[in-house]
Every structure is written in C-alpha cells, then in structure tokens.
Amino acid sequence: MGSEEVKVVSFWVSPFGKRVEWALKLKGIEYEYIEEDIFNKSNLLLQLNPVQKKVPVLVHAHKPIPESFIILQYIDETWKQYPLLPQYPYQRALVHFWADFGERKLLNPSWVAMCSSGEDKEEALKVAREAMEKIEEEIKGKKFFGGDNIGYLDLALGWISYWLPVFEEVGSMQIMDPLKFPATAAWITNFLSHPVIKDNLPPRDNMLVYFHSRRKALSSSFKGWFKV
Amino acid sequence: MGSEEVKVVSFWVSPFGKRVEWALKLKGIEYEYIEEDIFNKSNLLLQLNPVQKKVPVLVHAHKPIPESFIILQYIDETWKQYPLLPQYPYQRALVHFWADFGERKLLNPSWVAMCSSGEDKEEALKVAREAMEKIEEEIKGKKFFGGDNIGYLDLALGWISYWLPVFEEVGSMQIMDPLKFPATAAWITNFLSHPVIKDNLPPRDNMLVYFHSRRKALSSSFKGWFKV
C-alpha cells in the first residue's frame, strides 16, 4: 500500500494544481497535499521536477509527474473509475485541442491583460474575448464540456469559473461577460455547484491580495508581448 | 473503405506536418497528401481548422484533427500496429513531457535565434543549448528515444536531425555541437538512416532558400522576446 502512495506538490493558488486535486477527488483517490513555496523553491521540488522546477507535481509510487495536463491524462489512464477523457480517440483529440486552446488563447492572454496596461492590455483582451466566443460555442447545449459529468476539459477550463473573475477584478477589466456568454455563465454555475469543486477552491480574499501583488510585480513584464 | 480515407493537409517544409506523415508511414497507413499554401490559406484549411487555421490537419473518415502532437496520439490510439507511445502510463507521461519540453525549450528558441540578433539571439541560444544538454542526457545509452524502434518522442524531436542544421546555417550559429552532444549525434544518424525518415524529408536546398526568406521577414519580430 505505502509504495502506491499519492502526493500532490502544489501552491495554494495555482489553478494548474487545483486541476490535479479535483481529478483525484472525482476519482476518490486519497492523496497527501504538500504545499510548495514557489518563491523559495524546496529541495523536494527541485528533486521531483529538476527540468522545469514548477508545480504541480504528482508523485505516484515514488514516481514524479509534472505538467497538469500530462498529470490529468496519467490519472485517467491509471485509475479507471470516473473517466475524465471520452471513450473514442476522435473525441479525446478534440478535448486535448480545446484544453490547449484555453491555455494559449484565454489563460495566458487573461494573465497578460491583468498585469499590463495600454496597447498591450487591449491586445491581450482582444485575444481573450475572441477565445471566449469559441468556448461559448463549445459549451452551448451541454451541462458540462464532458456531457452530464465533469470531464477533463471542465477541469482544464475550470479556472474560468473562479480565477478569471479575480483576474478581472485585479485588472479592472471584463472578459467573461455573462450577457454575451450565457452558456458559459450557466456552465460556471454548474461547475461551481459540484461538491468536489466548491469544497476545493482557494479563499477569494487571499487570491485578491496575491494577484494584486503579482500584478504590481509583473506590470512592466509584458511590454510589446503581442508583437512576438 | 472510402469513408475511412485518410488525408494530411500540410506545408512541404513544416516539421509538424512531417511528424504526422512519418507516423502514418511507420504504421503503414495510406493517405492522400494535400499541399497547403500557408501564405494564402485555402478554403479547405479554413473549413478543416477554423479555430487555429494552421497546418497540419489530419482528416480521418471526414473528421479533421489539428495539432501535430494531438494527431500523433490520435494515430497511435486509432491504428494499433507499430505502437508509438509506451505501454505504461508513467512512461507515456514522460514522453509527453519531453515532447513538450523540446517544443518550448529547443524548437521555439532555435527559431527565435535563427531570426534574431544581438541580445535576443544570445538569450535564445542559451535556452536552446541548455535544452540540448537535457536531451543529450535522455538519449544516452539508447538507439532511439523509443528504445529499439522509432517512437512518439523520436518523431516529436525528429526535426533536430534535419531542420536544426538548416536553422543553424541560416542563423550562422551552432546549437547542436556533436562533440558536446555525442549521444544526440548518434541518434541523429540512426534516425536519418531509417527508410521512412530518409525518404520523407524536404529538399535541403529549398529549405535553405525558404528559411533565409523567413529570417529576413521576421528579423525584427523577436525584439525583447525573452523578457516576456
């Protein structure tokens, strides 16, 4: 038993780490949570993820696995109960496509928009809002991206329900307009109502303090980013 | 039969498209190749990949799948002969990790280094050479990343064998020093000796002309990229 133990090394406010915890909880897998200080990285993290030095890391039977999407797939292949990915290769491919799209076209630009100003912010907001339009089309007519149950893509995009409103408040901006994106708004309600999700979210007040300080620290980092 | 037909929409010099073609050929899957003009995109491409508008796209039984890594996984899940991914979830996770690493830490920086100059080029070269060190460690003692046969990671990193030398020549730079990275140099020889690979490479002279023109067109695009 002990040799099969599961650990999650993460940082309290990481949306990437939460994906992993949600997946384990949906599957009913017990795990030990290890909080990492990402501003003063532990030897444990450097040893578990020497190449990237990033959280989250899943440790299963002493084997470390980095990168939240790779971890989600590993979890789904290792524990078969409560499948996260669809049964057929084509549907699986689409899920991977949209997960990747959400990361590049919505999460990254939302982050940049929160931290930047002027032309950079405008460009980032444009990309993020265009991505929201595509996501709205995808969720229309469904309770979850996974159908009747929360699946891989719900976990991948789950940050939209709870992190994005904080980014919007910190960045004094709006990306997820519920009037323009009613299907996404309904999905957010469904997602946040699920017991596994609502009981596993970081405290909003602490998030606001944290992201305000990140915004301040990174405010000059994204000058001209969109030209690259 | 006709309904199961396989098509690859790509651009002659795309290393991403070649991954897909190599995978199909290794598995002995017949396909129709459709050349796309990426500078004047066809209605076919816009219809098959409306979100990204990028090559390659695999079309299988009229279903379009974009993104080379997603396509590779789809191919491996759909046609079981000549498995590309390892059998066990942990080894599969590692393959995905290194494929992603190669993309972010070697392919992108090599491309930036080829196109840029001065401080930008130096920073890009530093990242790329550090990535080469990690890749050298991974291939040591093996014929292929996949073991005795070409696997997913060999296809993912295959561009190192043939595109990288062209990038180096066009950018007047060296990233893959065979004296510093002898195991990678041996892997390149093994990879390029495989009939499926050596018979499916774009003509080097045309590549030089093409990438010289890309370098010229993009030379001012990466100013300050590493600060982002």
CATH code of the domain containing B49: 3.40.30.10
Last residue of a domain, one of A78, A110, A130: A78
Whole-number Å distance between alpha carbons of B147 and B134 = 17
Residue A27 in contact with partner chain B when CB distance is under 8 A: no
Q: Quick one: pLDDT band at residue A1, thresholds 50, 70, 90? A: very low
What tens digit of pLDDT does each residue of A180-205 get? 999 999 999 999 999 999 999 999 99
What tens digit of pLDDT does each residue of A87-119 get? 999 999 999 999 999 999 999 999 999 999 999
Last residue of a domain, one of B56, B78, B100: B78
Please report residues of A whose CB lies closer than 8 A to that of B222: 228
Residue A80 in contact with partner chain B when CB distance is under 8 A: no
The answer to whether residue A148 is domain-embedded is yes
Q: Quick one: pLDDT band at residue B223, thresholds 50, 70, 90? A: confident
Dihedral of alpha carbons B90, A74, B133, B135, sign: positive
Q: Is A34 buried (19+), middle (13-18) or exposed (0-12) by CB count in 10 A?
A: middle
Would the CB atoms of B67 and A227 count as touching at under 8 Å? no
Helices (H) then strands (E): counts for chain B: 11, 4
Q: Quick one: pLDDT band at residue A225, thresholds 50, 70, 90? A: low
Q: Is the per-residue pLDDT at B228 higher than 60?
A: no
Residue A103 in contact with partner chain B when CB distance is under 8 A: no
Instruction: Give the pLDDT of residue A228.
Output: 52
Q: CA of B57 to nearest chain A CA: how many angstroms apart?
A: 12
Whether residues B195 and B112 fall in one domain? yes
Cβ–Cβ under 8 Å, residues A17 and A195? no
Q: Quick one: pLDDT band at residue A223, thresholds 50, 70, 90? A: confident
Q: Is the per-residue pLDDT at A226 higher than 90?
A: no
Q: Quick one: pLDDT band at residue B1, thresholds 50, 70, 90? A: very low
* Phi/psi at A209 (5° precision): -60, -45
Whole-number Å distance between alpha carbons of B62 and A77 = 28
The answer to whether residue B83 is domain-embedded is no
* Mean per-residue pLDDT over chain B, rounded: 95
Instruction: Give the pLDDT of residue B225.
Output: 67
Residue B222 in contact with partner chain A when CB distance is under 8 A: yes
Last residue of a domain, one of A59, A78, A97: A78
Q: Is the per-residue pLDDT at A2 higher than 60?
A: no
Residue A89 in contact with partner chain B when CB distance is under 8 A: yes
Q: What is the mean pLDDT of residues B149-156?
A: 98
Token pair belonging to A30: 């017990």
As for how many domains chain B has, the answer is: 2
Q: CA of B193 to nearest chain A CA: how many angstroms apart?
A: 30
Q: What is the mean pLDDT of residues A212-216?
A: 96
The answer to whether residue A150 is domain-embedded is yes
Residue A67 in contact with partner chain B when CB distance is under 8 A: yes
* Phi/psi at B85 (5° precision): -95, 150
Whether residues A118 and A195 fall in one domain? yes
Q: What is the mean pLDDT of residues B173-199?
A: 98
Q: Is the per-residue pLDDT at B222 higher than 90?
A: no
* Mean per-residue pLDDT over chain A, rounded: 95
Whether residues A150 and A179 fall in one domain? yes
Q: Give the domain range for residue A153.
A: 89-227
Instruction: Give the pLDDT of residue A222.
Output: 81
The half-sphere exposure of A44 on its side-chain side, counting CA atoms within 13 A, is 16
Q: Is the per-residue pLDDT at B227 higher than 80?
A: no
Please report residues of B whose CB lies closer than 8 A to that of A134: 51
CATH code of the domain containing A203: 1.20.1050.10
Whether residues A186 and A122 fall in one domain? yes
Whether residues A71 and A99 fall in one domain? no
Q: Pick the residue with more confidence: A123 or B2?
A: A123
Instruction: Give the pLDDT of residue B7.
Output: 98
Q: Is the per-residue pLDDT at B61 higher than 60?
A: yes
Please report residues of A whose CB lies closer than 8 A to that of B228: 221-222, 225, 228
Cβ–Cβ under 8 Å, residues A228 and B228? yes
When CB atoms are compared, the residue of B71, B96, B228 closest to A222 is: B228
Whether residues A114 and A222 fall in one domain? yes
Whole-number Å distance between alpha carbons of A12 and A19 = 12
